[in-house]
Amino acid sequence: MSNRRIVILGKTGVGKSSLANTIFGEKRFNIRHSVSSDTKKCQAESKSINGRNITLIDTPGFFDTDRSEEELKSEIVRCITDFAPGPHAFLILLKAERFTEQEQAVITKINQYFSEEVFKYATVVFTHGDQLPEGKTIKDFVRDNEPLRDLMKKCGGRCHVVDNKYWKNNQQDENRSNQFQVKQLLKTIDKIVETNGGRYYTNEMLQKVEKMIKEEMQFIRQSHEKRSEEKIREEAKDRVSGRLWTKLAGIATGTLLGALFGVVVMVKVVVLALEAVVPLARSVAGVSAALETGGAAGGAAGGAAGEAAAGAAGITGEKLLP
């Protein structure tokens, strides 16, 4: 049975948890009805669908424009362990309604923190499909908006639309049927995996974290208590997440986010922090701040300057056990 790890991304209130439940055909993900609720936790659930073993990873509102990214730091660290060893696909959620400056700011953040490599695994999914005027398709909606066209182009032209509330499975119009749209979305994810040669998105940081998880799993297996591999991995992820927080708490939130999505210079900074002794976290934090001053993606000049700063930090000293 094929395995798919799928990450759902978007700002708070766009319908990430609802989409996850729609894909699974049952309520497995918690839905918060207030944007003022406590910071939503990263949640991962698995289910077999049409011969595919699918793990959906529902994330906090990484791209919220009205919240401090610092609030999200601990959840970004947790998501690093949930993402490892790497997702097969990213679903970038936006609302199919009037495109405001706030939505534009979300796309700007995505462009800032996503590497070109991530876009190879991404597709855009529009929620609140009932907002589309009668007779208008999502392709028409995208065609009228330049920022959306640019994002779609980066994602290889991949896009779908759903409505988690109003579109029922008995809709005659396939363009307004969740049942049809979910089938098409899963086919798109299969195509993404096929196009990428069966590989999932990964980077040096995620590979290092996966190694830490596997080593912790081996340690847990040595205990006398018998547990399923799923429970062993969950416990290992909890332990590793706690150790990551100790090592990465001093790193700027934007740097962690950029590393998660493959910005090369930021991946390097986080990997150095993972390998360094804890007292050096302040030095790494200084490098992170320098990198962010030049911009998350940085541009060629900013990226080169950030890499030079990382080298200048001279992260040395004894290694910690993973």
pLDDT in tens, 80-110: 999 999 999 999 999 988 777 888 888 999 9
DSSP three-state, residue 27? coil
pLDDT in tens, 24-68: 999 999 876 554 444 467 899 999 998 889 999 999 988 886 777
Q: CB atoms < 10 A from the CB of 235, how many?
A: 15
At residue 267 the predicted structure's pLDDT band, cuts being 50, 70 and 90, is very high
Whether 302 has a pLDDT exceeding 50, the answer reads no
Whether 281 has a pLDDT exceeding 70, the answer reads no
Whether 293 has a pLDDT exceeding 70, the answer reads no
**What is the per-residue pLDDT for 39?**
41
Q: CB atoms < 10 A from the CB of 265, how many?
A: 25
Give the H/E segment covering residue 124. strand 122-127
**What is the per-residue pLDDT for 40?**
61
CATH assignment, 2-195: 3.40.50.300
**What is the per-residue pLDDT for 64?**
83
Mean pLDDT (whole number) for 241-256: 93
- Give the Cα separation of 43 and 79 in Å (integer): 9
Whether 297 has a pLDDT exceeding 60, the answer reads no
Predicted TM-score (pTM) above 0.85:
no
**pLDDT greater at residue 166 or residue 3:** 3
How buried is 222 (Cβ within 10 angstroms: 0-12 exposed, 13-18 middle, 19+ buried)?
exposed
Q: Any residues with CB less than 8 A from the CB of 305 and at least 6 apart, and which?
A: 290, 294, 298
**pLDDT greater at residue 209 or residue 131:** 209
Q: Where are the domains of the chain?
A: 2-195, 204-313
pLDDT in tens, 154-198: 999 999 999 877 776 555 667 677 888 889 999 999 999 999 999
The CA–CA distances, whole Å, from 71 to 22, 36, 114 equal 28, 13, 20
Phi, psi of 61, deg, nearest 5: -75, 75
**What is the per-residue pLDDT for 283?**
44
**What is the per-residue pLDDT for 30?**
84
**What is the per-residue pLDDT for 144?**
80
